[in-house]
Amino acid sequence: MSWTATSRRLTALCAAATIGLLGLGTTTAAAAAPSVNRVQGDDRYATAAAVSRALVPTAVSGQVVYIASGENFPDALATGPATQQHASPAPLLLVPRSGALPASVTAELDRLKPADIRVVGGGGAVTDDVVQQLRNWDDSPSRISGSTRYGTAAAITAAAGVRTGGTVYLATGLNYPDALAASAVATRSRSALLLTPQDSLPLETSNALKDLAPTRVVVLGSSGVVSDGVVGQVKAAVPGAGVDRVGGSDRYATAALVSQLGFPGTADGAFVATGANFPDALAAGPLAASKGQPLLLARDSCAPAATTAEFARLKGSSVTVLGGTRAVSDAAASMSVCASAPPPAAPAGKTYGGGSLLVGKDIPAGTYISTKNDSCYWERASNASGKTDAILANDITSGQSIVTILPTDVVFKSSRCSAWSAVDTTPRPQTSIGEGDWLVNIHVAPGTYQSRSNDSCYWQRSSAATGGSDTIIANDIVEKGATATVEISADDVMFTSSRCGTWSKVG
């Protein structure tokens, strides 16, 4: 189960509150605001159906339709480039892992009248009962899968007949932003998009590279996402190919660099998706490619500087947003740039108690830690009114709590928390951690972690310690007693754990 908002926030203490924007502050880009169009539905399945209608306004005889899970990202993202290997575009529709097909999906299948349905992923991704329902449109839907997400990406590439001797894009299979940004570029050039974990090239991916015999391999993301060791294995697998790394300081900068690579000239506009979660844009790569436009990423409240700079370079006049205003606000869609100044360091040697503190007077901006807590509540607010619409971000944590207070905040409020003090940023990364917030590379080492003793364990990977919903990279709730597994990336800023017990590094 994937959760896109703040799943453990706002329990009884703050049930009436609503989580606001990240509070980074925005300034308006100098260029004229672009025209904004949205492709959206009531949920991820309806949004993918809306993308399908835009990509294939009129179905053709022998229409091919791809089906992938909407509950996870790898299969759908790897499928995007494959959809354009046909005489006419083949849309990608998303389905739940099991249960009844959503009404938006059945309505779109009725419209398309597909002659060839191809289900991507094994029974763990899309169950046989879902495939059985698809027989209402195709008597014998085919299934394309491997034993892992890496094998499935290789299998879809082979099944689609992606051309040999071209370019292959290689992205992490453990997170979605880099592959999402590359989906439009790879689709436009009819290239393959393959996946890899951080530290070792899978055999299925290596064999796919050998079969494709590319002249160029583009590795997406920094070495903290795809290691230099993997790059070396790629070079060994295809020694005749040029291997380049395209990676920025974060997912937004990487998406901008991918856009520059695939669209070195200008473009009429760009597609924009949230960089905080994956569902809205899973099926959008082929549509962006069909319009000759890249896919850029934005925060929910504003557009990062890398995104606005790339849009300005493209000289585009329009933005097509994937999803509604909760995912990408009108300000972000209009290229209102996020304030980029980092918060100042909190003063060392001082502690601050609870209550409502005025930022800049009672407590300076900075990153703070409070330890040995039991249901510590904190809140960043834009004014001292006490109204829920003043809340920029808030959280309830046990164990150690960490929060970055921004200079633009007006009030910082906390209760049932021990004294707050400046975070010691001296790196002392551990490989075994418990409850609370942990700064990556400072408190916890990147890698694969497991917890085997949990009580409805909730975990979260974040791109900042400010607590805004758009800082969530990924999160999950694991059922009681089940083993929880998570890959903490070196690019993450913070990892949060609640009711998970002890996490131990296993890889």
Q: Per-domain residue ranges for the chain?
A: 12-23+342-505, 33-335
Residue type, 446: P
Angstrom distance (rounded) from CA 227 to CA 465: 25
Report the chain (507 residues): mean pLDDT per 10 consecutive residues.
32 29 32 86 94 95 95 89 85 95 98 97 95 97 95 93 91 90 92 94 97 96 89 97 90 92 94 86 91 94 89 94 91 82 73 94 94 93 86 91 91 96 92 95 92 85 82 83 87 90 91
Reported pTM: 0.64
Q: What is the pLDDT of residue 453?
A: 73
Q: Residue 10's Cα: distance from chain center in Å?
A: 23
For 410, left (φ over 0), alpha (ψ -120 to 50), or beta? alpha
- Between the alpha carbon of residue 144 and those of residues 158, 193, 331, 424, the distances in Å are 10, 15, 40, 49
Q: What is the pLDDT of residue 24?
A: 29
Q: Which helix (H) or strand (E) holds 160?
A: helix 149-160
Give 62-121 pLDDT, tens digit per residue: 999 999 999 988 899 889 888 888 888 999 999 999 999 999 999 999 999 999 999 999
Angstrom distance (rounded) from CA 220 to CA 369: 34
Dihedral (Cα; 76, 79, 80, 85), 10-degree rounding: -160
Q: What is the pLDDT of residue 23?
A: 30
Give 392-443 pLDDT, tens digit per residue: 899 999 999 999 998 888 999 999 999 999 999 899 999 999 999 999 999 9
Angstrom distance (rounded) from CA 411 to CA 29: 28
Q: Which residues contact 287 (CB under 8 A, 6 or more apart)?
A: 39, 51, 54, 55, 271
Q: How many CB atoms lie within 10 A of CB 107?
A: 14
